[in-house]
Structure 1
Amino acid sequence: MSVNVSAQKAPSFVVKANQPTATVAPTMWGLFFEDINLGADGGIYAELVKNRSFEFYNPMMGWKEEKRGGGEGSLLVHNRNEINPANPRYLRLQVKSDQGEYGLINEGFRGMGVKQGNQYDFSVMARQHEGSNLALTIEVVNAKGEKIGGATLTPSGKEWEKYSVSFTASATEPKAQMVLLAKGKGAVDLDMISLFPKDTWKNRPGGLRADMVQLLADMKPGFLRFPGGCIVEGRTLDERFQWKKTVGKPEERELIVNRWNTEFSHRPTPDYYQSFGLGFFEYFQLSEDIGAEPVPILNCGMACQFNTGEVVPLDQLDPYIQDALDLIEFANGPATSKWGKVRADMGHPAPFNMKYLGVGNEQWGEQYVERYKVFEKALTAKYPNVQLISTTGPFPDGEEFEYLDKTLRSMTDARVDVIDEHYYRPAKWFRENATRYDNYDRKGPKIFAGEYAAQSVAIASPDNKNSWEMALSEAAFMTGLERNADVVTMTSYAPLFAHAEGWQWTPDMIWVDNLQAYGTPNYYVQKLFSTNAGTNVVPVLRDNKAVTGQDDYFASATVDKKTNELILKVVNTSDKAQNANFVIEGIKKLQGKGTHTELTSQKLDQVNSFAEPKAISPTQKQVNVKGNTVSMLLKPHSVNVFRIKTS
């Protein structure tokens, strides 16, 4: 190809394809999920009804009374805490008039996304009162209040039972609502009022949004870290994530407030709770579905240190440690064990084969070290093969980081397998830190780059954007992660999801509304690396040095022994296009052809959007190889991946 480039001599890179320096861990490129930005309820968990069991602090939040044709009645919330402490509230709907209809409307999560021709499954736990035989009409209405789907059912029993009915939507509507009406005199008790689309991931009833899961599956991630994040810790210990309350029947899972509910005054979200319809079983199942290692993170007896910072006394840690031991049994134990049976009863007799467990999320200080040691001792005694993930806190440097980094690395009375490092920093930081791991101890703990994202404005600013400059800078940094794959074995961008009308934090990798989901430029960078991982790192040199920003170039390379390919990643962060020569050494013969996948934009502030979801997305073309040299144009501000077949 002929392209006008700058007059200077084209840079020459040498790839030593027969000199592997590290094995790329299968977990190298993964995913971090946290229930932030309506990531679970209102997001990937496909339930359309908000506050379906009336357990929000305001039990009628999301609901309002509806009367039609002269209908009269009352709505009264009852509490049966002693009988069912996990789900104590239910609604008594009493109709007092023979005329018209009486009931209630649910607004959904910023509305309900309904698609024409799609089937919707309604269900409710209900019981009729003596002498009542109320029929229930279920309607989905559009933003104008017009019916676009519906059905009827009549609960027949005087004891609690689940009733279900399905219908097909006649129109597409992003802001639908669900109406539930009763006709005739009498009273009926209602709980777990639910509406799901039929087309969930793998068509599982009560499952996950298929379009959102598909974006994850397309990345071929090596692991899925869950359930967070700061929600693991909670604002207080009472509000911490407790995995045992998230398994079993959905109606028996105990809802709690989401710690992002009131975290930011600029984005208050008073209706943000965790129903745990997406619980630990579903996280493990999702991991299995997308071929990712499950990586759960558990509370270590410390609440979020940005909030209350509560701690459990060391001599009272036993319940927390038992939760960790029982989780391993739930994931890996036989179906005959106590917690393995819970898993089997939920439909998965075979173990999930969990290999990693995080102790604490983003803690710091002596309190964390003391608690980590207690956890490590107990977990190692019973499950020595489970790799334990510790943390150096929320920052990549500074006093908290330095204390934990030094302490964990010098620890002789407890094992430290993997250290989780987090960095939310400006784009420039990512470009300047591509060499961060070049001098790390090769014999020390492995590194999990567990949360990272370039910030276009500042940490927690509502004005951060998923712009091309941020993604490009992350790609430059990621070549340094790959180059140091003997130290860095797990990496994940964060946060993962954000609802366009329900977010608290930016930037985020995937944006959704009630009908659509799209990947940001950051998503496509992550996907390029994760789907082009290779098996072994090999050197890419320029003037006999690693390519870490000289003339704004960054590079890394791997070979894939499974497919006999060389995979070369080159990032050009400059504003100049240049031809570059890549000399491949140590390969007897290149096959003459390969592919060049390119991600680029002339606008550093370019973003993807619902209107233009692929404004920045990869393009691929064939490239020819002459001898052992690949000559290629590197566009300005571009991420380039070359795959070349070898003999």
Structure 2
Amino acid sequence: MKNNIIAKIVLGGLLVSGIHGFAQKTTLEVNIDKTVTKIKPTMFGLFFEDINFAADGGLYAEMVKNRSFEFDKPLMGWDQPNTKRSSLNKQSGVATPIKELKNKTNTNFCRILINDPQGYAIINEGFRGMGVKKDAKYNLSLKAANHDGAIKKIIIQFIDKDKNVIGETNIVPTSDEWKNYSAQFVATQTEAKAKLKITFEGTGTIDLDMISVFPEDTWKNRKNGLRKDIVQLLYDMKPGFLRFPGGCIVEGRTLADRYQWKNSVGNVEDRKTMMNRWNVEFPSKQTPDYFQSFGLGFYEYFQLSEDIGATPLPILSCGMACQYNTGELAPIAELDPYVQDALDLIEFANGGVDTPWGKVRSDMGHPKPFNLKLIGVGNEQWGPDYIERYKVFEKAIKSKYPNITIVSGSGPSPDGEFFDYGMQELKKLNAELVDEHYYKSPQWFRENATRYDNYDRKGPKIFAGEYAAQSGSSGPNPRNKNNWECAFSEAAFMTGLERNAEVVNLCSYAPLMAHEEAWQWAPDMLWFNNLQVIGTANYYVQKLFSANKGTDLLTITKDGKALTGQNNLYASAVKDMNTKEVIVKLVNTATTAQEVTIDLKGSKLASKGTLITLTSPDLQDENTFTEPTKISPIESEYKLKGEKAQLSLPAYSVNILKLKME
């Protein structure tokens, strides 16, 4: 209670005094028949980056960490708890990583010598454990070469935190050459911190590689696919686009460790594992076990986009490593491979099966093109070096694929010298879409709802590609919470994005998701552990806007002026010509409820509609794993009397009014 009182006192100066807010009544006007502009289907979307264990250990449902022994320390994630010595002074067994130089992508395998099968096992710890659910089925696969038929059986078990067996299967290795094996087993109890134990019948030597376990129940039941619960939350947002694979991960700390999409397609076992850049990025949040298997690669990203109805937006390296790290540059004269990667990606996505990269896509199971329309050049680069390289990419892409829209970048900040220079130069080049990023305080978001009101309508369109209100400060700060103040402040800002749909064509919260125990950056829109995923208050704000974006922008005004924070009210209005609805979004950031009257002029409306409210009385409230829907939308029937809608907006609330057009 004390914290609530303090929070309200502090926010009083930022928002509005309780006495003044209590008396406030506002009348607004909406002209339903007058369309300001068409709203792009891509208006509200998703930004995915492999940060916070979002891919391996997260969206990608693989449960075995370092399945092919390719980490810098090849046995990381694998334990040998019982290597006791026998009476013959021999270890009960030993696992030794072997490097096979002729294989340039999957170079390592594990050679296991078993002297005493009763006392030797290898155990995989998973990604901060393995989440298994009672009665659920799990599919195991591995490669084995059984020297001289020494090992009669491989026993695979889930064990709980007390080492009790909670699921078991086995494989009989029949060949001394490499051979693929598979089996299925069922968990006998639910456990968030299970491990995978492998023991052996017989003594001698056996080689193992690509030891993998996936739940059978994946998104769309795809073999070795994605976590169903996470994708469901993404699907429910009805996103207009999916930007991938980042983010800073695109750039790399050096050019050598940039994301190269060609290494992420084809057979999964042939995709070369590499260290994730977030492994060492923050001294205070070191994650030495963070690598990329690329099991979730560009084919899977395109497939996911298609599954959730989102336009794919891949971002590629422009030949500049992260300028916060080395800032390494590919000389202009040596830029051709980077440009060719972009051209080849368009062919991979859209080319016929008779083209080299279109055939790769088809052979992976998708003969039909992915209908790529957007491509990004660079992530958060800035300065003359970026502009010089962007020109090269633009010329090459437009020459071969004139209908592809290119996304350029304005740097890491929404203002300052780098931003001003980038925007000035990109305007000169008639850039199509410029990506802007902002990680700022909740107050900044409330105060900048008018950011795009005066942008040149004939200039570049805007992609608000990364934004999130920070309750503490940017970076690996545990004080950055997904609290309610951050969420409703973002909603206030988003009314400004929607009101300026003539300029703003895409926008997305960032980052998308984080593992509860393995995050590098906060806040994040979704949080997950090995058994559960929750939508934050920020998620529900994004979902409300995305699922109710409409097709046509309308004006919503008070005394002829847009509502941009006057009396702590923010508003935008649209109509959806597909569902024949008028949709009004209202955000009240005041400490008390406010009475609002909306004069709806033009088309006749049905007397019954829907009111959706997202609110919480405490600025610091958050959704948690124990209270996952503490802040979530409440939907009720709304009755319209005449042409004026009367609403009482709760303090600190986001409200969506939906009325059918007759």
Q: Provide TM-score, normalisation by structure 1.
A: 0.97
What are the equivalent positions in structure 2 for 1:240-255 lying under 5 Å apart? 240-255=258-273
Are the equivalent residues in 1 in contact too, given 2:149–2:175 (CA < 8 A)? no
Residue 86 (structure 1) aligned with residue 102 (structure 2): no
Q: After superposition, what is the alpha-carbon deviation per residue over 1:247-292, rounded to whole angstroms, capped at 9, x for unaligned?
A: 1111100111000001111111010000000000000000000000
The amino acid across from 2:610 in the alignment is T
Secondary structure of residue in 2 paired with 1:480: helix
Residue 25 (structure 1) aligned with residue 40 (structure 2): yes
Q: After superposition, what is the alpha-carbon deviation per residue over 1:544-576, rounded to whole angstroms, capped at 9, x for unaligned?
A: 100000000000000111121100000000011
The amino acid across from 1:22 in the alignment is T
Deviation at 1:214, TM superposition (A): 0.3
Are the equivalent residues in 2 in contact too, given 1:44–1:208 (CA < 8 A)? yes
What are the equivalent positions in structure 2 for 1:151-170 lying under 5 Å apart? 151-170=169-188
Residue 42 (structure 1) aligned with residue 57 (structure 2): yes
What are the equivalent positions in structure 2 for 1:78-477 lying under 5 Å apart? 78-81=98-101, 83-97=102-116, 100-411=118-429, 415-460=430-475, 461-477=477-493
Provide the C-alpha distance between the structure 1 equivalents of 2:580 and 2:298, rounded to a whole number of angstroms: 38
Provide the C-alpha distance between the structure 1 equivalents of 2:443 and 2:169, rounded to a whole number of angstroms: 56
Q: After superposition, what is the alpha-carbon deviation per residue over 1:285-316, rounded to whole angstroms, capped at 9, x for unaligned?
A: 00000000000000000000011110100000
Are the equivalent residues in 2 in contact too, given 1:22–1:484 (CA < 8 A)? no
Provide the C-alpha distance between the structure 1 equivalents of 2:107 and 2:100, rounded to a whole number of angstroms: 5
Deviation at 1:5, TM superposition (A): 11
Counterpart for residue 520 of structure 2: 504
Secondary structure of residue in 2 paired with 1:489: strand
Are the equivalent residues in 1 in contact too, given 2:21–2:590 (CA < 8 A)? no
Counterpart for residue 530 of structure 1: 546
The amino acid across from 1:275 in the alignment is S
Residue 608 (structure 1) aligned with residue 623 (structure 2): yes
Provide the C-alpha distance between the structure 1 equivalents of 2:132 and 2:335, rounded to a whole number of angstroms: 46
Provide the C-alpha distance between the structure 1 equivalents of 2:22 and 2:492, rounded to a whole number of angstroms: 25
Are the equivalent residues in 2 in contact too, given 1:118–1:197 (CA < 8 A)? yes
Provide the C-alpha distance between the structure 2 equivalents of 1:40 and 1:477, rounded to a whole number of angstroms: 29
Provide the C-alpha distance between the structure 1 equivalents of 2:22 and 2:323, rounded to a whole number of angstroms: 55
Provide the C-alpha distance between the structure 2 equivalents of 1:384 and 1:125, rounded to a whole number of angstroms: 46
Deviation at 1:6, TM superposition (A): 7.0
Provide the C-alpha distance between the structure 2 equivalents of 1:160 and 1:284, rounded to a whole number of angstroms: 32
The amino acid across from 1:456 in the alignment is S
Deviation at 1:68, TM superposition (A): 8.8
The amino acid across from 2:645 in the alignment is V
Secondary structure of residue in 2 paired with 1:378: helix
Deviation at 1:67, TM superposition (A): 3.3
Counterpart for residue 653 of structure 2: 638
Provide the C-alpha distance between the structure 2 equivalents of 1:637 and 1:547, rounded to a whole number of angstroms: 16
Counterpart for residue 12 of structure 2: none
Relative to structure 1, is the Cα distance of residues 157 and 472 closer, same or farther in structure 2, using a 3 angstrom cutoff?
A: same
Are the equivalent residues in 2 in contact too, given 1:5–1:579 (CA < 8 A)? no
The amino acid across from 1:534 in the alignment is G
The amino acid across from 1:122 in the alignment is L
Deviation at 1:18, TM superposition (A): 1.3
Gaps of 5+ in 1: none
Q: After superposition, what is the alpha-carbon deviation per residue over 1:395-426, rounded to whole angstroms, capped at 9, x for unaligned?
A: 00000000001110012xxx511000000000
Relative to structure 1, is the Cα distance of residues 101 and 336 closer, same or farther in structure 2, using a 3 angstrom cutoff?
A: farther
The amino acid across from 1:180 in the alignment is I
1:77 equivalent among 79, 93, 97: 97
Secondary structure of residue in 2 paired with 1:134: strand
Tell me the matched-pair count.
638
Deviation at 1:9, TM superposition (A): 5.9
Provide the C-alpha distance between the structure 2 equivalents of 1:353 and 1:304, rounded to a whole number of angstroms: 30
Q: Percent identity?
A: 55
Deviation at 1:8, TM superposition (A): 3.4
Provide the C-alpha distance between the structure 2 equivalents of 1:102 and 1:80, rounded to a whole number of angstroms: 25
Residue 564 (structure 1) aligned with residue 583 (structure 2): no
Secondary structure of residue in 1 paired with 2:253: coil
Counterpart for residue 8 of structure 2: none
Provide the C-alpha distance between the structure 2 equivalents of 1:615 and 1:241, rounded to a whole number of angstroms: 38
Are the equivalent residues in 1 in contact too, given 2:613–2:654 (CA < 8 A)? yes
Residue 14 (structure 1) aligned with residue 29 (structure 2): yes
Higher mean displacement: 154-163 or 447-456: 154-163
Provide the C-alpha distance between the structure 1 equivalents of 2:424 and 2:478, rounded to a whole number of angstroms: 34
Provide the C-alpha distance between the structure 2 equivalents of 1:7 and 1:22, rounded to a whole number of angstroms: 35
Deviation at 1:442, TM superposition (A): 0.7
Are the equivalent residues in 2 in contact too, given 1:511–1:518 (CA < 8 A)? yes
Secondary structure of residue in 2 paired with 1:266: helix
The amino acid across from 1:495 in the alignment is P
Residue 541 (structure 1) aligned with residue 557 (structure 2): yes
Are the equivalent residues in 2 in contact too, given 1:565–1:644 (CA < 8 A)? yes
The amino acid across from 1:79 in the alignment is K
Provide the C-alpha distance between the structure 2 equivalents of 1:61 and 1:133, rounded to a whole number of angstroms: 24
Q: After superposition, what is the alpha-carbon deviation per residue over 1:189-243, rounded to whole angstroms, capped at 9, x for unaligned?
A: 1111101111111111111000000000000000000000001001111110000
Secondary structure of residue in 2 paired with 1:595: strand
Provide the C-alpha distance between the structure 1 equivalents of 2:203 and 2:26, rounded to a whole number of angstroms: 84
Provide the alpha-carbon RMSD of the alignment: 1.4
